[in-house]
Amino acid sequence: DAKTTQPPSMDCAEGRAANLPCNHSTISGNEYVYWYRQIHSQGPQYIIHGLKNNETNEMASLIITEDRKSSTLILPHATLRDTAVYYCIVRGLNTGGFKTIFGAGTRLFVKA
Amino acid sequence: DAGVTQSPTHLIKTRGQQVTLRCSPKSGHDTVSWYQQALGQGPQFIFQYYEEEERQRGNFPDRFSGHQYPNYSSELNVNALLLGDSALYLCASSLEFGGQGRSAKNIQYFGAGTRLSVL
């Protein structure tokens, strides 16, 4: 079962910031939070990840709460090309490797 | 620098047949994971290969098997195909040890997938 909870869908106006929430209340100390997005029928694209500090790269910002039980992905100026399914994943060290468990994700619609 | 490449892009098979899907990892990566994505759902983990061995496995039957070669490329084999095996099959590669020991901060990069249709 997925260890994250996300809203099934969200809308955002083009040019505005898109804030995508994720709940991961059972996250353990050595697990990272990853965000991927998947545009229709393509492979998931890595966006950003973090452990406990906020992170920013050229694509997005990741805000992780102090208790690490939730996070928010921020696309600062959403464009129509950001319309996609966004997956929040927690991933950590366990015996034999790093199993990645995807949930249903959030379908983001960016509207003109 | 080539990313993760998968072949073929599309495949049509009939029930009972066998299929082999192929994946070449991103340059420098040593670990390959396979996922199945049914229409409208998130990817489901099948298994992961590192050092030519299956390291982890998801909840998939033995009909699903794999292999990793010394050059880190990988194959996914599915025997006795069922209609329910129709899906997008995704390959992801990562650098297991990241040069500084095993760490969950190693990013997985995905290929574009192989669309399998079972008729």
Read out DSSP for chain A?
--S-B--SEEEEETTS-EEEEEE-TT--TTEEEEEEEE-TTS--EEEEEESSS-EE-SS-EEEE-TTSSEEEEEETT--GGG-EEEEEEEEE-BTTB--------EEEEEE-
**Residues A103, B42: C-beta atoms closer than 8 Å:** yes
What is d(CA B30, CA B94) in angstroms, rounded to the nearest whole number?
6
**Nearest residue in chain B measured CA to CA from A29:** B104
CB-nearest to B107 from A41, A49, A101 is A49
Q: How far is CA B118 from the centre of its chain?
A: 18
Checking if the pLDDT of A22 tops 80, the result is yes
- B93 close contact with A: CB closer than 8 A: no
A109: left (phi over 0), alpha (psi -120 to 50) or beta: beta
Q: Rg of chain B's alpha carbons, rounded to an integer?
A: 14
Using one digit for the tens of pLDDT, what is the confidence trace for A70-85?
A: 999 999 999 999 999 9
Looking at per-residue confidence, does A111 or B97 come out higher? A111
**What is the rounded average pLDDT for all residues in chain A?**
91
**Nearest residue in chain A measured CA to CA from B46:** A99
The total number of residues written for chain B in this structure = 119
Beta-carbon neighbour count of residue A10 at 10 Å? Answer: 16
What is d(CA A11, CA B42) in angstroms, rounded to the nearest whole number?
20
Query: Closest Cα of chain B to A78: distance in Å?
Result: 23
**Residues B45, A51: C-beta atoms closer than 8 Å:** no
Nearest to A64 by CA among A95, A90, A101, A99: A90
What is d(CA A77, CA A90) in angstroms, rounded to the nearest whole number?
25
Give the pLDDT means over successive 10-residue stretches in chain B (119 positions).
90 98 94 94 92 91 97 97 97 74 71 97
Tokens of A100: 């990645």
DSSP B101: S
What is d(CA A65, CA A67) in angstroms, rounded to the nearest whole number?
5
Please report which confidence band the pLDDT of residue A95 belongs to, taking 50, 70 and 90 as the band edges. very low
Residue A66, C-beta contacts closer than 8 angstroms, at least 6 positions apart: none
CB-nearest to A43 from B94, B107, B110 is B110
Checking if the pLDDT of A96 tops 80, the result is no
